[in-house]
A and B are shown apart, each in its own frame.
Chain A
Amino acid sequence: MISRRHLLRTASNGFGALALSSLLHDRAYAGQGPHHPPKAKNVIFCFMPGGVSHMDSFDPKPKLAELDGKPAVLESYVAGPKRKWLASPWKFRQYGQSGLTVSELFPHLATVADELTVVRSMKSEFPLHARANVFLHTGRNFGGFPSLGSWVNYGLGSENHNLPGYLLLNHGDNPPGGLENFSNGFLPATHQAMPVRAAGVPVDNLVPAAADLQRDKLAALRKQDERFLQATANDQAVESAIANLEMAYRMQSLAPDVLNLDAEPASVKQLYGLDAKNSHQRAYALQCLRARRLVEAGVRFVEITPPNLYGGNNGTWDQHDKLREGHETNAQVTDQAVTALIKDLRSRGMLEDTLVLWAGEFGRTPDTGNGDGRDHHPFGFTIWMAGGGAKAGLIYGATDELGNHAVENVVTVHDLHATILHLLGIDHRRLTYRFGGRDVTLPDVHGQVVPALVG
């Protein structure tokens, strides 16, 4: 049986059937890895910028209810005399075989509790958005280094030569740190994220200008370029540029095809929430469903950011105040679609080799300065993974009884990177690129694979 995935991957309705496949397999598309048999082939990263509160989502802290309103003693950069402990405004319940405790913020995710690998002992190093975002993506706190998605593509190469291997599904704006979060750094530009917007035209320059003339132009260009190719003694760069034009041409039709959801059955659209009343929820659902289709088409790494509804410049989950309203809205916008993504991948048999990662740059403080919100908290927070060889139904690590420091089985951002690469069949110490006189790796000299997280 020829799968839809296979079809999409080989589809070529290009104008001239130049035998270009060999050209396309140039270095830019071939990877370094894998180093060992992979469990996952693709990654979908649901980035939650601003910092989701761990003790209000997946890491309940009943002790906070006892101490609610009492003066807080917290060793933190925000520590101050007027701070008070803040109980979670949401109720928690246990779900699934794993008994994962989930707050009422995420009723949909609760239904897939047994698919999740929840890490309650994440630790980052920076309590500021831009720095922590770039750190979560690149393992460095300043720009100029390649993002996880770029490393993965550099390591494994692309499975679809008609689409870039790292796509960023966003809503037109980027979280603090900007495009640095999604940069190829010093890796070849082939590995940079291509942004795909939810609203309007999804990709720059994808809509053909004077579409009805394009075929004729390209036919003429083929002849013209052939002459130039001869004049350069069949220079390889020129040859690949000609091939590149063909790929671009095909992308114009293939990319919209992959991004277009018309062919999806109504039931699938409903599953994701494309019929939701809230337009932001629909926009996020659209990106989640697109993510599945892109992975299906062989795109290696898809990152999805949520619509920026709060936090202005700082990421939508950044509830220094109005915790209740902000977190409820953000959860409502994302919960159903992320859950649907897991269910949909599972029902298509794609969850085994697709790793879904859900993470923000840090968590939030167990105390409050103004009684209405929580502040940045990198010392202990929660992320989760699903599929892709991660150990399903696992609750790993713990923060202390107040949700302050990660105290048990601490997982650093570097460890997380090493583990994700490991699931993809890559040894983080061997995936290197020589730059600035060093063989650079994603986690630098840090990071250890966390074997317990591997299923």
Chain B
Amino acid sequence: MKYLLAILATSLAAEDFSHFESRVRPVLASKCQSCHGADKQFAALRLDSREAILQGGQHGPAALPGQPEASLLIKAIKHLGPQMPLGSKLADAEIAAFEEWIRVGLPWPASGKAAPSGLYDKLLREHWAYQPVRRSALPPGKTTNPIDRFLPATASLADKRVLARRAAYVVTGLLPRPEWLAAYLSDPSPKAYENYLDTLLASPRYGERWARHWMDVVRYAETYGYEWNYEIQGAWQYRDYLIRSLNLDLPYNQFVREHIAGDLLPAPRFVNGNNESILATAFYRLGEMGHDNCDQFREIRTDVVDNQIDTLSKAFQGVTVSCARCHDHKIDPIPTEDYYALYGILNSSRPVARTVTRPATISPITELKAAIRAELASAWLKDTASIARELQAALAARQDASNAADLAQGLDPARIDRWRKLLDRDGIDLSDPLSVFTTSFNYAKESEERRAYNQKHFTTAADFTQGMPAGWSIDGLGLPGISRAGDFAVATEGSEAVTGIYPAGLFTHLVTDRWNGTLRSPLLPSSKKYASFQILGGKFAARRSIVDNCVIGEGNNLLDHRDLRWDRVSTKEAGKFPVYLEVNTKTDNPRLPERPGKFKQVIDEGPRSYFGVTRIVYHDEELTPKATLDHLQALAANPTPERFAAQVSEALIAWQNGSPTPDQVTWLTWLLDQGILVNSRNLTPQLRELTSQFRAAEAQLPAPTVIASMGDFDPGRDHPIFLAGAATSPGPIAPRHFLTLMPAALKTVSTSGSGRRELAEAIASPENPLTARVMVNRIWHHVFGRGIVASPDDFGRNGAAPSHPDLLDYLASEYMAHGWSTKRLLRLLLTSQAFQQTGYPVRRLEAEAVRDTLLSVSGRLDERLYGPSVQPYRAEPQEHRRLFAGPLDGDGRRSIYLKITRMEGPRFLEIFDFPNPLQTRGNRDVTNVPPQALAMLNDPFVRDQAQQWARRLVARKDDTPDARLNAMFLAAYGRPIHAQELVIWRDLLATFRAQQDNEESIWTEAAHTIFNAKEFLYLR
């Protein structure tokens, strides 16, 4: 027995940490380390490394290798002495696991190092997928298509119609158009088939079909799922990006670069005025995400990054890096350190919304604004010409002076009354210009005290009146940069002329409040408790704090005031997590639209929303900065109505000339707020006309496209290894780099930036052993129904070995040598004998092909490309979860345009194995279950399409029933009806006739039966 244990001990300790990893480490992490770990060390004991356990705490070593019965740890968990863990005793099996582990010598893999390094080295040397792609010589032979040399033909060529249908489904996901088929069948040239393929590959339907394949790989969905299905901003724009990229045959290496670092490329691609390269980065953001705060629920963030690592590594590299989240990969050479090295790269980028629209020309708007300013200024100058006298009269009346009546002579009593009301306001602050008439104070002293107070209590974080400080960033059409003092926003609705006149700063609505904007802070310092914003905003603009990159967390403060005010936010999480602040207009806020019932107000659908920010300060007390008095210097020195009036007219003239000082803007803003400057577009007929023109021009401005994307705004941060995957047990730091299994030249990333840019190049590199192989295999999989590697998402040791490794490498090197052209590769595959022969594997059409074919055969298919998604049909919509219902036939759009709501996708597609959009799924299930047959038999959508088809058939009154049947076979199966089949269908029609007398009903039933034949659903 002892001998046996000794052997066991050696074998366990030498190589196998599985007992420790599966039975011991989880218990240590969940039940011991919260009190005996990195954070707390009760009794000076740590239980988070082998060394620490052997060293022990104040009671001595916690364990003696090989002697469980003598080990303090075992005594404690057996409650023989100290009783641990607190609260509840471990299960007997758990105690036994600890005893066993100590008995064999506490094997514990060195953290962060490839534990079984011998095994890893061997794998790196030997596993086929980690070796460079080697273009092998073509096997001898005469055939021109190189694939045929590797896979000599074994069967005869398929019938032309069978082949035409097969190729059309593979390339376009639909039956061939009748004219394409006719051209192919009647083309006598030896190039007939290749010409036909060219037609298919040139069709925009190709992009729609193949984009969907890729969407399975990137777990595409349009909502974050979880409880409330918040929208993933602009997800459908990413879908359109895929369609466009495929149709123009974007080289795959560029496609890869754009996915991984499209926002960082020095020369991004623009299409239709949009930065196409940034669009691709939405791929990071398509996964599931919770809405709660991640300071409480750490896994909301760690699970998002885990899913990003998982998707990125499977999609592009066919490796399962996520397996190394809690321990070194057991099967493939991926140490946990690799996982956290990637974690550091992805976590150094912020998951933010980006505007991809290129700024538009706004010259008519700029000219109109200048004209409006001129007109307003002159109207206001005219209207304020007598304010010195008015104010003087009001002051006299207020003091019951004897000359009050004389002073009021010839003036409008209502205006004098207005001044009196302004003077009589309660609690006028000293920064209010009228305070000089109502309060006696020492200007110099008060001014200095305020300045000193502000200096003492507040640190300037950002002063946008002076420029953009480092670390702060802006995005959006509405925020091209710092605006000049005195810039203003023309009101876009209502009777007002302007929304406001503003100091220099960041204002999103200076052109139109339909444009978006986002202001982002750097990561907040942990040394301060609060940040305060001098801010204004409305129409669902919000100031948000983002903790640990949880962008749909709860820190969402709506702004609803048009004057600049101080708004305080606690920054207490900054000590524990990366925290930054954002101000967003409505379109940029990932929490909008909010879940139903969260707001009292109903959010309108339109894009209008705005905010402005001038200053941000950090501080430690619950205080608000005081308004300074600089703008009152001249008036305070000479507090007379004449001086007051001169200040007003000087400010107006300076504004008219376009260069008011900041103090003059303070005056103008105040005058406007008090109604002394009348804010009406009806001041003059000319002003009314100009503002009307402005509103018309503004309505024509293009709306911004905003998408969920990524952005590098902070210095790159290395991330600690989470011991056993637990965010509460941070271990050693993992420096950022790409996978250990990569060639050395591809591993290094930038230390200053996030490293995404280098990651993109490493994956797009021809030296990368996996990128081309994985993609070539995906393409092969979709052409033949099964990959050369049967596990397209796993090229590791647990995946399938390639059935034809030389062929795979040949194709991978061809792919790279010819500009990573997917269309060219497809053409190569489709012109092979293997594809054209009769032995092609029979398979059921995918969910989308089934639905799209029903629409196309019935004549309902709407071939429009692109655009917002159509809600899928739902018999029972649940609007409280944002599961809305759409039309039964999805407006006739192809399935790729149906909205994919995580948590409940389109029912009809799910019946036919449409995958859950949660993880990379390069290989869909093909099941055969009763709901599929029931759907074809009874689903209202299928019935509806049968009826639509019948209506069209019956409208051709002159067709004989036989001709009609033949037309139906051609339309649905791509071939004419056979004489023997005609007998079956004539009989069936007779049966229908016996029970129905309406032609449309009879043919509806015939159409419905045609849909139900296996030939409709299966590709051969």
Contacts and interface: CB of A to CB of B under 8 A. Distances in A.
Contact of B903 (A128, A131, A179, A240): A179
A93 interface: no
Contacts of A437: 320, 323, 331-332, 794, 796, 798-799
Contact of A248 (B23, B323, B881, B933): B933
Contacts of A248: 930-934, 937
A247 B988 contact: no
B913 A189 contact: yes
B984 interface: yes
Nearest to B933: A248
Contacts of A223: 984
Contacts of B127: none
B1017 interface: yes
Contacts of B875: 204
B21 interface: yes
Contacts of B907: 204
Interface stretch (B73-81, B176-184, B1008-1016): B1008-1016
Contact of B939 (A205, A212, A448): A205
A436 B919 contact: yes
B798 A448 contact: no
Given A207-B938, A248-B937, A448 B93 contact: yes
A221 B1009 contact: yes
A405 B85 CA distance: 13
A350 B1018 CA distance: 43
Given A77-B296, A228-B1013, A144 B984 contact: no
Contacts of A212: 995
B40 to A, nearest CB: 14
Interface stretch (B223-231, B685-693, B805-813): B223-231
B601 interface: no
A231 interface: yes
Which of A141, A205, A434 gathers most chain B CB within 10 Å?
A205
B927 interface: yes
Interface string A165-198: 0000000110011111001010011100010000
A210 B290 contact: no
A238 interface: yes
A223 B875 CA distance: 34
B307 to A, nearest CB: 8
Contacts of A349: none
A245 B918 CA distance: 30
B416 to A, nearest CB: 54
Interface string B984-1020: 1101100110010000000001001100111101101
Q: Which of A77, A220, A223 has the most CB of B within 10 A?
A: A220
B57 to A, nearest CB: 23
B302 to A, nearest CB: 11
B962 to A, nearest CB: 16
Contacts of B22: 445
A129 B292 CA distance: 12
Majority secondary structure of chain A interface residues (helix, strand, loop or mixed): mixed
A13 interface: no
Interface string B426-446: 000000000000000000000
B378 to A, nearest CB: 57
Interface residues of A, number: 77
A358 interface: no
Nearest to A207: B938
Given A141-B299, A213-B995, A240-B928, A221 B1013 contact: yes
Contacts of B844: 237, 241
A142 B1009 contact: no
A130 B300 CA distance: 12
A232 B94 contact: no
B320 A130 contact: no
A172 B876 CA distance: 7
B843 interface: yes
Chain B: number of interface residues, binned into ranges: 35 or more
B1002 to A, nearest CB: 10
Contacts of A275: none
A405 B930 contact: no
A445 B724 CA distance: 12
B904 A179 contact: yes
A436 B918 CA distance: 13
B927 A190 contact: yes
A277 interface: no
B91 interface: yes
B943 interface: yes
B119 to A, nearest CB: 16
Interface in B841-866: 842-844
A260 interface: no
Nearest to B920: A436
Contacts of A28: 927-929
Contact of A232 (B331, B938, B992, B1020): B1020
Contact of A205 (B228, B322, B931): B931
A426 B750 CA distance: 51
B94 to A, nearest CB: 7
B245 interface: no
A436 B916 contact: no
B959 interface: no
B1013 A224 contact: yes
A210 B1005 contact: yes
A66 interface: no
Contact of B1012 (A208, A217, A227): A217
B701 to A, nearest CB: 38
A241 B26 CA distance: 45
Interface string B871-913: 0000110101100000000000000000000111001000001
Nearest to A126: B297
A225 B1015 CA distance: 7
Q: Among A128, A183, A194, A446, which residue has the most Cβ atoms of chain B within 10 A?
A: A128
14 contacts: A28-B927, A128-B290, A143-B288, A178-B225, A178-B904, A209-B940, A214-B937, A217-B1008, A228-B1015, A252-B934, A405-B87, A408-B88, A436-B793, A448-B91
Given A207-B938, A241-B928, A247-B933, 12 more contacts: A128-B227, A142-B303, A183-B916, A189-B929, A206-B934, A208-B938, A212-B995, A227-B978, A232-B842, A237-B926, A244-B932, A410-B88
Interface of A: 28, 77, 121, 128-131, 141-144, 164, 172-173, 176-180, 183, 185, 188-190, 194, 204-210, 212-214, 216-217, 220-221, 223-225, 227-229, 231-232, 235, 237-238, 240-242, 244-245, 247-249, 251-252, 312-314, 405-410, 415, 434, 436-438, 445-446, 448
Leading 7 A-B pairs by shortest Cβ distance: A248-B933, A144-B918, A437-B320, A178-B903, A189-B927, A205-B934, A205-B938
